[in-house]
A and B are shown apart, each in its own frame.
Chain A
Amino acid sequence: MSYYDIDLILTDAEKIPCTFQLDIPDLGYLDNTPTQPLKAGTKVNLPLWLAEMLAIANAGDAEGRSFVTFDLPPALGNDVVQALKADPRAVPLRDQSAHFYGLATQMMELSEEQELAAALRKTFVIRASEVALHARKVGGAGQRGKGGADEGSNLGVGGAGEEFLRGLDEWERKLFRKAHDGTKSGKEWMESIKKH
Chain B
Amino acid sequence: MPMYGDLGNKLVQHAKRTQNLAHLPPYQTELIRAVTREVRDLDKDVASLLEPFQGSFDPSADQATACTLLVNHLSMRRNKRCLLAYHRTRTDKLEELVWNGSDVLDLAGQQAGGANGAPAADGGASSSLSPQEEDYVRQYGDLLAAYKGQWTDIDLTGSLEPPRDLFIDVRVLKDAGEIQTEYGAINLTKNSQFYVRHGDVERLIAQGYLQKLG
Chain A residues packing against B (C-beta within 8 Å): 3-7, 9-10, 12-13, 22-27, 29-30, 32, 47, 49-50, 53-54, 57, 59-61, 67
Contacts and interface: CB of A to CB of B under 8 A. Distances in A.
Nearest to A60: B60
Interface of B: 1, 3, 5, 9, 12-13, 15-16, 19, 49, 59-60, 63-68, 70-71, 74-75, 78, 81-82, 84-85, 88-89
Contacts of B67: 22, 24, 27, 54, 59, 67
B63 A6 contact: no
A6 B70 contact: no
A29 B3 CA distance: 8
B9 A13 contact: yes
B3 A30 contact: yes
Contacts of A24: 64, 67-68
Given A57-B70, A60-B59, A9 B81 contact: yes
Contact of A49 (B13, B60, B74, B84): B74
A60 B81 contact: no
Contacts of B5: 13, 47, 49-50
Contacts of A30: 3, 71
A191 B64 CA distance: 68
A193 B16 CA distance: 36
A9 B12 contact: yes
B9 A61 contact: no
Nearest to A3: B81
Contacts of A13: 5, 9, 12
A9 B85 contact: yes
Interface centre among A4, A6, A49, A54 (most CB of B within 10 A): A6
Contacts of B66: 59-60
Interface centre among A9, A49, A59 (most CB of B within 10 A): A9
Given A4-B84, A25-B64, A30-B3, A54 B70 contact: yes
